[in-house]
């Protein structure tokens, strides 16, 4: 999709913080380390389905991916993890790993993805709706423990997914993607909330990130509407959790330079939780959500990050109070 066809535009000075070539592989300084991660997602509230595709690679070619689909009627949820390697000359314009095939046209800000799994198959394209947004455009910036840089972008999909023989069209659906690079200290955050939400026509799309680390709090992300992509300046939020500390709903009032904040409501229709590990004792929970953006129905995804020991304490405390 050319710039002239973008639905929303970012201020040129902020757009310069994310270059097209940033979607290619990043190389470390001599003797250094690097990690790239690429992510695509789409939430279908009316179908009560949520899909995410996550790929990572390090400077030595170690690579992995997870392809997940969860929601109503998906029992159990599809959580396909794969590990492997990529050649040194792979620059991310073409990625092939364990049945996941990614092709990126960085000049057109377009990507195509396909996957052929045991239960889940998919093939779709992602075309950007606006300039890629760097978290360095936010006043709180991007903490170094998270990444060197991170770009987020809303887009329109064309294609399909198939689960257990059931075909679901993705034509015209709105989705989201990101790309971050630099080493990540997974244990540094005390908590974060990451989310993407959008109306069915793409007239309003948003990405938000709330983080708490080292006793400090920050926010990042954007709201894209009325032809503009605007950095978020503040988020006032309240989240409801069940006895397992799975996020059930959230209400957020989001400032982004407009006269009135964006009022966002998320209602979880299904969630999955990734297991903790000794190397990274943190727990990530992903929720597919029905959303309303200033009262307009839409879809979204809502992620939480917790240090696992603290999450276990919160779960035990909730369960004890309920009993």
Give residue-wise pLDDT tens across range 117-135: 999 999 999 999 999 999 9
Nearest Cα to Cα of residue 138 among 72, 210, 71, 201: 210
Per-residue pLDDT for 2 more than 80? no
Question: What's the pLDDT score for residue 4?
Answer: 43
Of the listed ranges 7-16, 50-59, 169-178, 282-291, the one predicted with least confidence? 7-16
Segment 140-178, tens digit of pLDDT: 999 999 999 999 999 999 999 999 999 999 999 999 999
**3-class state of residue 276 by DSSP:** coil
Phi then psi for residue 87, to 5 deg, are -70, 160
Per-residue pLDDT for 71 more than 90? yes
Per-residue pLDDT for 138 more than 80? yes
Domain boundaries, the chain: 3-322
Question: What's the pLDDT score for residue 255?
Answer: 98
Question: What's the pLDDT score for residue 34?
Answer: 98
Question: What's the pLDDT score for residue 1?
Answer: 34
Burial of 69 (0-12, 13-18, 19+ CB in 10 A): buried
Segment 14-46, tens digit of pLDDT: 999 999 899 999 999 999 999 999 999 999 999
Nearest Cα to Cα of residue 205 among 180, 225, 231: 225
CATH number, span 3-322: 2.40.370.10
What is the value of pTM for the model shown? 0.96
Burial of 215 (0-12, 13-18, 19+ CB in 10 A): exposed
DSSP label at residue 22: G
Per-residue pLDDT for 68 more than 60? yes
5 pLDDT band (50/70/90 cuts)? low
280 vs 245, residue with greater confidence: 245
Q: What is the dihedral of CA 184, 13, 300, 262, to 10 degrees?
A: 120
């Amino acid at each position: 999709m050319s710039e002239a066809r973008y639905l929303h535009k970012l201020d040129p000075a902020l757009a310069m913080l994310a270059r097209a070539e940033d979607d290619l592989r990043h190389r470390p300084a001599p003797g250094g380390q690097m990690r790239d991660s690429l992510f695509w997602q789409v939430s279908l509230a009316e179908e009560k389905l949520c899909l995410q595709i996550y790929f990572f690679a390090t400077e030595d070619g170690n690579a992995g991916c997870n392809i997940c689909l969860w929601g109503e009627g998906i029992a159990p949820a599809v959580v396909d993890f794969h590990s492997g390697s990529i050649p040194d000359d792979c620059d991310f314009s073409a990625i092939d790993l364990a049945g996941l095939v990614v092709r990126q046209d960085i000049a057109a800000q377009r990507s195509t993805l396909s996957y052929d799994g045991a239960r889940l198959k998919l093939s779709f394209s992602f075309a950007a709706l606006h300039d890629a947004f760097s978290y360095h455009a936010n006043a709180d910036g991007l903490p170094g423990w998270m990444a060197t840089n991170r770009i987020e972008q809303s887009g329109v999909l064309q294609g399909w997914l198939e689960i257990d023989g059931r075909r679901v069209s993705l034509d015209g659906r709105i989705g989201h993607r990101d790309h971050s690079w630099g080493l990540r200290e997974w244990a540094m955050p005390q908590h974060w909330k990451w989310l993407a939400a959008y109306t069915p026509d793409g007239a309003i799309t948003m990405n938000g990130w709330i983080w708490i680390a080292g006793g400090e709090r920050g926010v990042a992300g954007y709201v894209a509407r009325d032809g503009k992509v605007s950095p978020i300046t503040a988020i006032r939020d309240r989240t409801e959790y069940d006895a397992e500390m799975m996020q059930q709903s959230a209400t957020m009032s989001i400032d982004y330079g407009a006269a009135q904040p964006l009022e966002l409501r998320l209602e979880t229709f299904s969630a999955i939780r990734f297991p903790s590990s000794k190397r990274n004792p943190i727990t990530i929970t992903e929720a597919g959500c029905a959303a309303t953006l200033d009262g307009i129905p839409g879809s979204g995804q809502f992620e939480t990050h917790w240090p696992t020991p603290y999450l276990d304490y919160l779960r035990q405390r909730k369960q004890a109070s309920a009993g």
